[in-house]
């Protein structure tokens, strides 16, 4: 496959997902929720924190890229709602409302926000689809939009269950520092995938012109 064919297929795939009906987009969002749930079962528990290492953040980051604005966030909303309803697809095959109220509930809320954020940029700003801009956006989505609500909820959980407010350092040790290296690896992979599968610059307009001829 030559470069021209690759660019064309990449654009057509991007256009295809954008032109789908409401029903088809909803189905795709559900399947992305399923993928998030599947990757959440790749778990490495850590003895000093209730927050495990999981692979699900890769699915969260890429959901906005694959589904676009709103729909990436919807996929994560479906994931959270169905998990709260009892489907055991949160980390460690857990489900139910106690999870959203537990130590990791804030991260789940952050998943929705991060997917909405990335989907917005991928659809609206062509330059964001290159590796370095997307790497920066995903760093922000991961370490701010996911971790800030995650750490706030974790702090509240410690207070309500242990009876004390953790120091900032203790909170970071439990809810952020052990995950940095793994998250950067996932962000790098998701950014590379974004560059590979999304159209760049004005190529899409050229393809549309050829198709209309």
List, for residues 81-92, the tens digit of each pLDDT value: 999 999 999 998
Instruction: Find the mean pLDDT for residues 159-174.
Output: 95
- What band does 207 get if pLDDT is binned at 50, 70 and 90? very low
Q: How far is CA 43 from the centre of its chain?
A: 17
pLDDT per residue as tens digits for the range 176-206: 999 999 999 999 999 999 999 999 865 444 4
100-109: pLDDT as tens digits:
999 999 999 9
In this predicted structure, the answer to whether residue 210 has a pLDDT above a threshold of 50 is no
Give the span between the Cα atoms of 172 and 70, in whole angstroms: 30
> Domain limits at 125?
3-206
**43, β-bridge pairs:** 54
162-167 mean pLDDT = 93
Tally the domains of the chain.
Answer: 1
Per-residue confidence (pLDDT) for residue 209, from 0 to 100: 38
Q: What's the confidence (pLDDT) of residue 3?
A: 78
The pLDDT, as a whole number, for residue 18 is 84
Domain containing residue 190: CATH number = 1.10.1760.20
Q: 111 in a domain, yes or no?
A: yes
Predicted pLDDT at 6 = 83
DSSP 101: T
Q: Would you say residue 211 lies in a domain?
A: no
Question: What per-residue confidence (pLDDT) applies to 208?
Answer: 43
Q: Would residue 177 count as lying in a domain?
A: yes
pLDDT tens digits for range 131-143 = 999 999 999 999 9
pTM of structure: 0.90
Residue 63 included in any domain: yes
Q: Which residues lie closer than 8 Å to 200 by C-beta, 6 or more apart?
A: 126, 129, 130
Identify whether 159 is part of a domain: yes
54's enclosing H/E stretch is: strand 53-54
Residue 213 lies in a domain: no
Residue 118 pLDDT > 90: yes
Q: Is 123 helix (H, G, I), strand (E, B) or coil?
A: helix
């Amino acid at each position: 496959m030559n470069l021209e064919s690759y660019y064309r297929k990449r654009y057509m795939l991007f256009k295809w997902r954008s032109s789908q009906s409401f029903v088809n987009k909803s189905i795709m969002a559900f399947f992305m929720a399923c993928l998030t749930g599947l990757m959440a079962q790749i778990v490495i528990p850590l003895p000093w924190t209730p927050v495990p290492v999981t692979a699900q953040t890769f699915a969260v980051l890429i959901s906005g890229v694959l589904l676009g604005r709103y729909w990436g966030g919807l996929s994560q909303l479906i994931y959270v709602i169905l998990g709260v309803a009892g489907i055991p697809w949160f980390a460690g095959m857990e489900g139910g409302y106690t999870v959203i109220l537990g130590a990791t509930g804030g991260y789940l809320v952050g998943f929705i926000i991060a997917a909405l954020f990335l989907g917005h940029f991928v659809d609206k700003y062509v330059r964001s689809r290159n590796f370095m801009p997307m790497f920066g956006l995903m760093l922000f989505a991961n370490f701010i939009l996911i971790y800030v609500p995650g750490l706030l909820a974790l702090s509240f959980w410690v207070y309500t269950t242990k009876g004390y407010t953790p120091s900032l350092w203790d909170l970071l040790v439990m809810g952020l520092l052990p995950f940095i290296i793994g998250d950067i690896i996932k962000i790098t992979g998701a950014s590379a995938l974004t560059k590979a599968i999304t159209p760049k610059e004005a190529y899409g307009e050229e393809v549309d012109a050829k198709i209309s001829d």
